[in-house]
């Protein structure tokens, strides 16, 4: 096990801010920054193209990064593609699925726009149907009986979030997988909030779309796409270009093999090298320890907020790991965010790119505190003290 205290000291922005906006992106560790700088200085040329020495080194390092991330996730490197974020991973799957009239995609009202807008917009173009299943406002969990009846023999994909970024509720992903498999449908799991925070077997899902830049500690512009081995031959990837096209014969495109077929165009080499370093940090800390620690911090945030007059936690019965959404009586969520920001505390306010969630709750947004393992008790207490001050002031005015 790595020295946690030393690792915690390596996040430069942690010295200046109490950063509780980890659901948006993670803080970047010195080691990630240095790995990226090394990539740019020592082999910052294109990947998988040049047969010259720096080109070969770039390709070698890119593939080494793939092995590092795949081994952390417990999946075969051949099943893991590097993308630019969760959104591009989802689009890559959608375009490879041959969806058309008569097909159905089942999703939920809990989704981030990234896992909703692509299905809805492409359904207009390709003629498939999208059914959106609601959720329980107390637990923030998808309505499983509605989901079960929505999944029928026309359903090709169930596209569902693992941990809601707006409500923080963990979804019964394995149960959903079982339901989908029984009906012969794929599951695309949006693991944007859970990968790197929740100790879970992701290798069972047909597709897992996730960022490199959140729980995996990588930089902006990195994402991953896991495609289960037995699904690959049923796909026809269409986000094609250099690197993902083997050759063109007349007017026929012959795509490259997996995992490169999902890596069109010049990849984010320094980003991927930085991501691999982020994953090495996670390995040193250990995923079990990460989940235990972040759950403990999150629990303390929930308990502390529940003690304050005028604070309401959304979905109070949610199974949560990293995210606590709340509203404050008599205060606009943006005002709360601004006041906290002035005290050096970073939270997110608004609808968190999940407008359907708030439409269904009848709210115009909320404050979201989201934690990572590198947060600590003193930061949580500072946040709670600031919230106490704000609510006390609010109730006396
Ligand atoms: C649940 C969920 N899905 C998708 C996304 C989109 O991620 P990205 O910005 O990596 O495309 C986010 C980002 O916050 C998210 O929380």
Task: Dump pLDDT digits (tens) for 94-122.
Answer: 999 999 999 999 999 999 999 999 999 99
- In this prediction, residues 170-188 reach a mean pLDDT of 98
User: What's the confidence (pLDDT) of residue 49?
Assistant: 83
Higher pLDDT pick, 376 / 397: 376
Q: Looking at the predicted structure, is the pLDDT value of residue 1 above 70?
A: no
User: What's the confidence (pLDDT) of residue 376?
Assistant: 97
Distance in Å, CA 191 to ligand 1 centroid: 8
Q: Looking at the predicted structure, is the pLDDT value of residue 279 above 90?
A: yes
What ranges do the domains of the chain cover? 4-20+287-392, 31-283
Q: Looking at the predicted structure, is the pLDDT value of residue 396 above 80?
A: no
Q: Which CATH class is domain 4-20+287-392?
A: alpha beta
Atom of ligand 1 nearest to the CA of 89: 11
pLDDT confidence of 393, banded at 50, 70, 90?
A: confident
What does the pLDDT look like over 136-171, one tens digit per residue?
999 999 999 999 999 999 999 999 999 999 999 999
Residue nearest to atom 16 of ligand 1 (CA): 165
Q: Looking at the predicted structure, is the pLDDT value of residue 2 above 90?
A: no
Q: Looking at the predicted structure, is the pLDDT value of residue 127 above 70?
A: yes
In angstroms, rounded to a whole number, what is the distance separating the alpha carbons of residues 393 and 390? 5
Fold for the domain defined by 31-283 = 3.40.640
Residue nearest to atom 14 of ligand 1 (CA): 24
Closest C-alpha to 86, from 263, 232, 262, 222: 222
What is the distance of C-alpha 187 from the center of its chain? 16
Q: Looking at the predicted structure, is the pLDDT value of residue 397 above 80?
A: no
What does the pLDDT look like over 34-79, one tens digit per residue?
999 999 999 999 998 878 999 999 999 999 999 999 999 999 999 9
Q: Determine whether the shortest distance from the Cβ of 161 to ligand 1 is under 6 A.
A: yes
- Determine how β-strand 18-19 pairs with β-strand 366-370: unpaired
Burial of 283 (0-12, 13-18, 19+ CB in 10 A): middle
What does the pLDDT look like over 189-232, one tens digit per residue?
999 999 999 999 999 999 999 999 999 999 999 999 999 999 99
Residue 208 neighbours by CB under 8 Å, 6+ apart: 188, 189, 191, 195, 202, 224, 225, 226
Q: Determine whether the shortest distance from the Cβ of 86 to ligand 1 is under 6 A.
A: yes
Are residues 271 and 221 in contact, defined by beta-carbon separation less than 8 angstroms?
yes
User: What's the confidence (pLDDT) of residue 99?
Assistant: 98
Q: Looking at the predicted structure, is the pLDDT value of residue 314 above 70?
A: yes
Distance in Å, CA 315 to ligand 1 centroid: 20
Residue 95 designated active-site: no
Average pLDDT over the chain, rounded to an integer: 97
Atom of ligand 1 nearest to the CA of 213: 10
Query: Among 353, 356, 357, which residue has the most ligand 1 atoms within 8 Å of its CB, making it the best to mutate?
Result: 353
Atom of ligand 1 nearest to the CA of 165: 16
Query: Among 22, 23, 112, which residue has the most ligand 1 atoms within 8 Å of its CB, making it the best to mutate?
Result: 112
User: What's the confidence (pLDDT) of residue 395?
Assistant: 66
């Amino acid at each position: 096990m790595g020295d946690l205290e030393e690792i915690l000291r390596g996040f430069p922005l942690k010295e200046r801010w109490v950063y509780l906006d980890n659901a948006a992106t993670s803080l970047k560790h010195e080691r990630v920054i240095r790995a990226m700088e090394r990539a740019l200085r020592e082999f910052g040329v294109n990947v998988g193209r040049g047969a010259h020495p720096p080109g070969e080194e770039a390709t070698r390092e890119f593939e080494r990064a793939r092995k590092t991330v795949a081994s952390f996730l417990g999946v075969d490197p051949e099943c893991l593609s590097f993308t630019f974020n969760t959104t591009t991973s989802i689009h890559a799957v959608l375009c490879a699925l041959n969806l058309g009239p008569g097909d159905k995609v089942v999703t939920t009202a809990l989704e981030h726009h990234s896992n909703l807008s692509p299905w809805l917009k492409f359904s207009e173009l390709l003629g498939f149907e999208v059914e959106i299943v609601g959720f329980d406002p107390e637990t923030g969990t998808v309505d499983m009986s509605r989901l079960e009846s929505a999944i029928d023999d026309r359903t090709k994909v169930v596209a569902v979030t693992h941990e809601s970024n707006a409500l923080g509720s963990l979804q019964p992903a394995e149960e959903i997988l079982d339901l989908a498999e029984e009906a012969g449908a794929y599951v695309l799991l949006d693991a944007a909030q859970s990968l790197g925070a929740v100790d879970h077997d992701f290798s069972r899902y047909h597709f897992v779309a996730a960022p490199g830049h959140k729980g995996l500690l990588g930089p902006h512009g990195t994402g991953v796409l896991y495609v289960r081995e037995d699904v690959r031959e049923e796909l026809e990837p269409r986000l094609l270009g250099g690197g993902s096209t083997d050759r063109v014969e007349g007017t026929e495109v012959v795509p490259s093999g997996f995992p490169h077929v999902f890596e069109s165009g010049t990849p984010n080499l320094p980003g991927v090298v930085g991501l691999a370093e982020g994953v090495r940090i996670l390995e040193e800390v250990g995923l079990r320890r990460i989940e235990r620690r972040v759950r403990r911090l999150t629990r303390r945030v929930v308990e502390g907020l529940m003690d304050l007059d005028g604070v309401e936690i959304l979905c109070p019965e949610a199974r949560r790991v990293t995210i606590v959404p709340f509203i404050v009586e008599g205060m606009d969520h943006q005002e709360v965010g601004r006041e906290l920001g002035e005290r050096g505390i970073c939270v997110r306010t608004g609808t968190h790119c999940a407008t359907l969630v708030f439409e269904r709750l009848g709210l115009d947004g909320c404050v979201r505190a989201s934690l990572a393992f590198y947060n600590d008790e003193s930061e949580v207490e500072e946040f709670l003290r600031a919230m106490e001050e704000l609510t006390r002031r609010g109730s006396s005015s």
